[in-house]
Amino acid sequence: MIERAHVIGAGRVGSAIAARLRERGLDLAAAEPELVLLCV
């Protein structure tokens, strides 16, 4: 399971995805993320 992620893009979609990932306990401030999401 993914434990560290980084969401690039603070628009509507990026903010919503980041909030949901935080709710699920993912670390979004990790220096070496396992997953990078680009929301444009």
Angle at 19 between CA 31 and CA 3, to 5 degrees: 40
pTM of the model: 0.83
Residue 10 has pLDDT above 90, yes or no: no
- pLDDT of 15 higher than 90: yes
User: What's the mean per-residue pLDDT of the chain?
Assistant: 95
User: Stretch 11-21: mean pLDDT, rounded?
Assistant: 96
Please state the rounded mean pLDDT for residues 4-22.
96
Q: What is the mean pLDDT of residues 3-32?
A: 95
Of 22, 14, 12, whose CA–CA distance to 4 is shortest?
A: 22
